[in-house]
Amino acid sequence: MFFAFLAVILIGFGYSLVSVFVNDARRFRRQALLVSEYAAKRGYRLLNPAVQENLSNSAIEMFRNSSLRSLAKGSEGIVDIEPFGRGKDDPLAFVCTIRSRDVTVFNFTVFSQRPDGAGGTIHYRVGKARAEHLPRFALGPRSVVHSVEHLVDGMIGRPTSTINVDPQVSSDFNKHYWLEAQDRNAVLAFLSPGKLAFIANDKLRGDVLTNSGYFVYRETGELRSEDDCDSFVATVDKVIAHLL
């Protein structure tokens, strides 16, 4: 009797694992079709062409394909920017040209860093542009997401350096936005009054982050439709036009 009961439990557990596997494979294929068709329609290119080359296969076949297990990551080159060193890339990224710059657009997921799992999962849509010799900084609107990230930074001992903008340069910036950097003079020289005015007047809803080789814009949310992609690309275009 006990072994029969145990067999039922194991069969149920195995069925649940198979169901998760199949559902993940189907979701991946649906998203792959969406991104491939969108990129082709707009004249963009996929970061991982192997995805498009395997779209004729079934979802299970795609999931099993070894060529789809070592794909390029949108976060390559920016893992030293928080939080791209501790999350998960969506391999279904595309590359478009915005104001003569190649911009990689992708989804990125950050999982809770707390042992109890509290804090939840955060999804981002990200635009990454190659741009050298920029001062390193991060800025964005004050939000619950940023508060959670600050909490995580404090828990793991990661230092931050907050900069307050002179109210005479931008009267409302400090009230609505945060700015973090190590080299205050270099960052404030780069963020001219005109750039700060754009951020405040446009009510920029995402974060701008840089390192020595890339300019990154991210927003909370996911790219799940053509409209999502069009809207986000237009936003990245506007940010690059005013800040680079």
pLDDT tens figures, 89-120: 888 899 999 999 999 999 999 986 554 455 57
| Domain hosting residue 207, numbered range | 72-243
Task: Let me know whether 76 and 50 are in one domain.
Answer: no
Which pLDDT belongs to residue 6? Answer: 38
Evaluate whether 103 touches 95 at the Cβ level (below 8 Å): yes
- H-helix or E-strand containing 30? helix 2-42
Cα dist from 154 to 114, 147, 159, 209, whole Å: 12, 11, 8, 20
Q: What is the C-alpha to C-alpha distance for residues 10 and 64, in angstroms, rounded to an integer?
A: 24
Q: Is the pLDDT of residue 222 over 60?
A: yes
Task: Let me know whether 139 and 221 are in one domain.
Answer: yes
- H-helix or E-strand containing 187? helix 184-190
Q: Find the range with the poorest average confidence among 15-19, 129-133, 214-218.
A: 15-19
Evaluate whether 40 touches 96 at the Cβ level (below 8 Å): no
Average pLDDT over residues 219-224: 94
Evaluate whether 46 touches 106 at the Cβ level (below 8 Å): no
Task: Let me know whether 18 and 125 are in one domain.
Answer: no
Task: Output the DSSP codes for 32-71.
Answer: HHHHHHHHHHHT-EES-HHHHHTTTS-HHHHHH-GGGSS-
pLDDT tens figures, 137-167: 999 998 766 666 666 556 655 556 788 888 7
Q: Is the pLDDT of residue 232 over 50?
A: yes
Number of domains in the chain: 2
Task: Let me know whether 23 and 116 are in one domain.
Answer: no
Domain boundary among 70, 90, 116: 70
Task: Let me know whether 216 and 113 are in one domain.
Answer: yes
What are the residue ranges of helices labelled H in 120-182? 144-156, 173-176
Task: Let me know whether 131 and 187 are in one domain.
Answer: yes
pTM of the model: 0.81
Domain boundary among 43, 70, 97: 70
| Percentage of the chain modeled with pLDDT above 70 | 73
Task: Tell me if residue 219 falls in helix, strand or coil.
Answer: strand
Average pLDDT over residues 201-209: 93
For the ranges 5-14, 66-75, 205-214, the one whose mean pLDDT is highest: 205-214
Cα dist from 109 to 106, 179, 195, whole Å: 10, 23, 29
Which pLDDT belongs to residue 183? Answer: 92
Q: Give the closest residue to 205 by CA, choosing from 241, 231, 169.
A: 231
pLDDT tens figures, 73-94: 999 999 999 899 989 988 889 9
Residue written as token pair 């169901």: 19
Evaluate whether 127 touches 84 at the Cβ level (below 8 Å): no
Domain boundary among 70, 96, 113: 70
Joined tokens for residue 162: 């907050």
**179-188 burial: b if 16+ Cβ within 10 Å, else e:** bbbeeeeebb
